[in-house]
Structure 1
Amino acid sequence: MKLATLRSPSSRDGNLVIVSRDLRHAVRVPDIAATLQQALDDWSRTEALLRSRAEALEAGTLEDAFDFDPAAAAAPLPRAYQWCDGSAYLSHAELVRRARNAEMPQSLYHDPLIYQGGGDRMAGPRDPILIADEAWGIDLEAEIAVITDDVPMGVSADEAARHILLVTILNDVSLRNLIPSELAKGFGFFQSKPATAFAAVAVTPDELGDAWDGRKLALPLRSWVNDRWLGEPNGGHDMNFDFAALIAHAAKSRELGAGTIVGSGTVSNRDRAVGSSCLAEVRMLETIDSGKPETQFLRFGDRVKIDMTDVAGASIFGTIEQTVVRYEPAG
């Protein structure tokens, strides 16, 4: 089952729709749940109703079905009660720390790193990357994420896996030149993490077939900048902490509410032939090879594309396509 949120002039949380597997058609379901958050809050009731409507959509028997336009989609959860992002691929963590002359803490090899991001305003798959200053070091980060139901405090990793309801992909934009001074304060990211953009569609794990093992997604996550291939690391390879481990870590001392989004961090493989999911990795590899980076961070007008396809080559979540745009204050 594939779910999305269409923008609505009357609600910041948009309108929930079911999307066909080929991403071509959709149907609104206000009689089941007005928003995705409402559906997640009452998943024990809404799941079966949504699945039944999804089957009817696939069968072509719904008169109120319409063409699905990803440009009209918001993030699946335009406002998330909780957005926490991990650093599950240590090959990425090692490189970016080398880039800022920082040590790799030994604790990261056995204890996941997670930061709490801003969930008040998520960007949709076609929204611009709004940044005020190019000098901040604008970078994409292609990631995978899961969305949970209510997770109890102290949940084990095995139990945590059963709380994963939906899977999607995202672009967790980073401002690389703001990160070092923020982290030096010892209090984490804030200004260096602008709005995160999500694919139009979040899917139930059964849509992913054998690529989903209940804890991670073993498919290539592909990225391009200005139509130039950046990389396609496999989400199931070199994931030191799977989603179950990340959820258990996040829930060690708190309950997680339904609709919590948990990100993987930048997908990264140790096989460098598959490329990278962010420019910081590219720059660090260039520095290792030649002593200095050649690739520039994103500039105004640059275009970013992120997608994941199934084994038949069909997009699973819809493509994230964004342009970097200078932010101009209103008025």
Structure 2
Amino acid sequence: MRLARWEDGPDIGEGFVVGGRAVPFPDNLTVAKVLAQGLKRARGLFGQVKDDAGRPLDAVRLLAPLVPASIRDFVAFEEHVEGVSASVDGKSEVVPEWYQAPTFYFTNPHTVLGPDEAVAPPVTERLDFELEVAAVLGGPGGSNLDAADAGAAIFGYTIMNDWSARDIQSREMKVRLGPAKGKDFGTSLGPWIVTADELEPFLDADGFLAVRAEVHVNGERVGEDLVSNMGWPFPELVAYASRNSKVVAGDVFGSGTVGNGGCLGELWGRSGELNPPPLQEGDEVRMVVEGIGELAGTVGPAVVPPALPRARSRSRERSRAAV
């Protein structure tokens, strides 16, 4: 099954993609509600779909397939860490701490983009993409899940492009926080959510999702990898996120960038030069993931924000001056 959201004139539709048609859920249900009700409920709804229902896909505009409750983005590919650390931190390395647990950061659910939607980057000289697969959680979620329960809670998967301004990211991560504004401006998801049962044939003997992922810039392939090269399978990412915390239906868990050219930053770090060049206005990035589909996005014009001053030098006095 494929779940999607779309724009049809002034209306927003939510439902299944069946063949070349977008078919609304019955009873005005939404993707969020179906995720919360779980895969069994989704199968029941899918059984009600008629062959001639809905609208042709080319008559609607696909949106991001969900409005995420939250987005956690992991860094689960060792090869990516080896390459990109040189371009962001100036030193190619995989620190010992990476191997201890699947580290992630929270990114912005309010700047999610859909298929073929242009990203509006900040002013940057090193705009980049990141090719990822993301797991989408179904209900009810929970806390301190083990890997088996976390795997059972995964509703499906989608493609994720974590747009990145590497020069901004590099500056702010020197302050021991972030990435923040280096990634805050846009994350593309789509084209739909493919339910987890559809991808079970791609699971290898160790439970890793062995689907092929590729990324193309202006029609030229830049990177390719198997998603099974992650250091941890998706259920373990979700289980770790739930530790001493809570995960819920609609949470999105990015795999982190695949290796072997899953982003430009990795290639820059390995070669020591900006080749291929950073993304520019008008460039198209197209991602293809086996068993899921294609997600394309373009680079729009940079947005210049209002200026803010630098930090002020302060006295560090411990009491107010007398009035």
TM-score (norm 1): 0.84
2:35 aligned with 1:40, yes or no? yes
In 2: Cα distance, 1:80 partner to 1:226 partner: 29
CA contact (8 A) 1:211 1:217 kept: yes
Matches within 5 A, 1:255-274: 255-268=246-259
Q: Corresponding residue for 2:3?
A: 3
Deviates more, 1:184-193 or 1:254-263: 184-193
1:123 matched to which residue of 2? 113
- Residue in structure 2 matched with residue 148 of structure 1 by the alignment: 137
Cα pair 2:123 2:304 within 8 Å, conserved = no
SS of residue in 1 equivalent to 2:47? helix
Quote the residue 2:65 is aligned against: 76
Cα distance in structure 2, aligned partners of 1:112 and 1:217: 16
| RMSD across aligned positions (CA) | 2.3
1:67 equivalent in structure 2: 56
Q: Does 1:190 align with 2:180?
A: yes
Shift in Å, 1:157: 1.6
The alignment partner of 1:178 has SS state of helix
Residue in 2 that maps onto 1:17: 15
Q: Equivalent residue for 2:279?
A: 298
Residue 164 of structure 2 aligns to which amino acid in structure 1? S
Question: Is 1:283 matched with 2:268?
Answer: yes
Distance (whole Å) between structure 2 residues aligned to residue 81 and residue 116 of structure 1: 11
Work out the CA distance in 2 between the residues paired with 1:218 and 1:260: 22
Paired residue type of 2:112: M
Aligned residue runs from structure 1 range 98-137, under 5 A: 98-99=86-87, 100-102=89-91, 104-135=94-125, 137=126
Match of 1:203 among 194, 199, 216: 194
Residue 229 (structure 1) aligns with: 221
* Number of residue pairs the alignment of both structures matches: 300
* Structure 1 Cα separation of the partners of residues 144 and 248 of structure 2: 14
Are residues 1:320 and 2:295 paired?
A: yes
- Measured against aligned partners, the alpha-carbon deviations of 1:140-161 in whole angstroms (never above 9, x if no partner) come to 1010011112322111122211
CA deviations on 1:250-275 (whole Å, 9 max, x unpaired) are 1101111111000100011xxxxxx4
1:96 aligns with 2:84: yes
Report the alpha carbon displacement of residue 329 of structure 1 after superposing the two structures with TM. Answer: 7.7
1:320 positional shift: 1.5
TM-score between the two structures when normalised by the length of structure 2: 0.85
Structure showing greater Rg: 2
1:105–1:71: structure 2 CA closer, same or farther, 3 Å change rule? farther
Separation in structure 1 between the aligned mates of residue 15 and residue 72 of structure 2, nearest angstrom = 25
2:177 and 2:32 map into 1 onto residues whose CA distance is 30
Q: 1:226 to 1:234 in 2, by over 3 A?
A: same
User: What letter matches 1:17 in structure 2?
Assistant: G
Partner of 1:230, secondary structure, is strand
Stretches of structure 2 lacking an aligned partner (at least 5 in a row): 306-323
Larger % of strand: which? 2
Counterparts of 1:329 and 1:29 in 2: how far apart (Å)? 41
Cα distance, 1:45 vs structure 2: 6.9
- Looking at structure 2, the residues matched to 325 and 134 of structure 1 have their Cα atoms a distance apart, in angstroms, of 13
Aligned counterparts of 1:216 and 1:261: Cα–Cα separation in 2:
18
How far the C-alpha of 1:71 sits from its partner, in A, is 6.6
Shift of 1:32: 5.7
Query: Is contact 1:71-1:126 (8 Å) kept?
Result: no
Instruction: Kindly provide the CA deviation profile for residues 205-248 of structure 1, in whole angstroms up to 9, marking residues without a partner as x.
Output: 22224113595321111110111111221111x21011111111
Runs of 4+ in 1 over 6 A off after TM superposition: 8-11
Residue 24 (structure 2) pairs with residue 28 (structure 1): yes
Shift of 1:183: 1.3
Identity score, percent: 26
Tell me the distance in 2 between the aligned counterparts of 1:178 and 1:146: 27
Q: Please show how residues 242-253 of structure 1 align to structure 2 within 5 Å.
A: 242-253=233-244
Q: What secondary structure, in the 3-state scheme, does the structure 2 residue paired with 1:31 have?
A: helix
Match of 1:139 in 2: 128
How far has the Cα of 1:101 moved from its partner? 2.1
Distance in 2, Cα, partners of 1:255 & 1:231: 34
Contact 1:134 1:299 in 2 (8 A): no
Any conservation in 1 of the 2:223–2:261 contact (CA below 8 Å)?
A: yes
Q: Residue 287 of structure 2 aligns to a residue in which SS?
A: strand
CA separation of 1:71/1:309 partners in 2, compared to 1, >3 Å: closer, same or farther? farther
Show the counterpart of 2:312: none
Whole-angstrom CA distance in 1 between matches of 2:221 and 2:115: 19
